[in-house]
Amino acid sequence: MRYFLYLSYDGACYHGWQVQPNGISVQEVLNKALTTLLRHPVEVTGAGRTDAGVNAGMMVAHFETDAPLPPNLPYRLNKFLPADIAVQKIVPVKADAHARFSATSRTYHYYIITEKSPFEPYAYRYPQPLDFELMNEAARVLFEYTDFTSFSKLHTDVKTNNCRIMEARWTQVSSVKWQFTITADRFLRNMVRAIVGTLLDVGRSVLTIDGFRNIIEQKDRCSAGTSVPAGALFLDNVSYPEDVFLT
């Protein structure tokens, strides 16, 4: 039987989602917890591969087991897992449902604060003045393209750098806090952080809208801006068609 597992995590102490040879990952911790509780080897497959330090308000992963699930498995997992990983629910899905390939969209949020605050550990403090209206104008340029090689980490194993961006905008959360929301059918490694870093160049007037468009068209990571810190980035939603779930 295949199941989707919904979870959230603080990525600060992990080398990303995916199992790594040189550090602890969220996937590894979850594998060990499920293997212990289900009493047979379990490997989860995630909806994406968040980088080291990136957080998830909602990650989805699938796993399989032939045995009936123990009662209150999410509760038992949460008692077993560290405090920075939390399971919300486990739902049965069709045998061919895939946490990564069945997803129709993913939404990330990135947070910027313009003043120092002890209450915003998950936001990037950026004290320079920013023109968010201009940054939104640049963000709308993303809808004109599908090849985002310029915002992809180099030497990845993906077959294509094409993505369809459905939403990209900055909104003000408070007097000192802004949120960037971006939704796409898929994302490349480091893509959101590179886009945000390049939009910040637009916001501080060192890059024009035409310059932003030119960066995308160059298909060269070296032409784009610096990637912003990982700790202010959250994967907050993964969407699936209703027909992958068992009623």
Q: How far apart are CA 105 and CA 3, in angstroms?
A: 19
- CATH 3.30.70.660 given to domain 105-236: yes
How far from 28 is each of 32, 62, 167, 190, 229, CA to CA, in Å? 6, 14, 32, 21, 23
Please state the domain extents for the chain.
2-102, 105-236
Give residue 158's pLDDT: 72
Give residue 157's pLDDT: 66
pLDDT tens column, 128-147: 999 999 999 999 999 999 99
Arithmetic mean of pLDDT, 107-113: 98
Q: Which residues are catalytic?
A: 51
Q: Are 41 and 117 in contact (CB under 8 A)?
A: no
pLDDT tens column, 194-239: 999 999 999 999 999 999 999 999 999 999 999 999 999 999 999 9
2-102 — its CATH code?
3.30.70.580
pTM comes to 0.95
Asked, colleague to colleague, whether 2-102 and 105-236 share their fold, the answer is yes
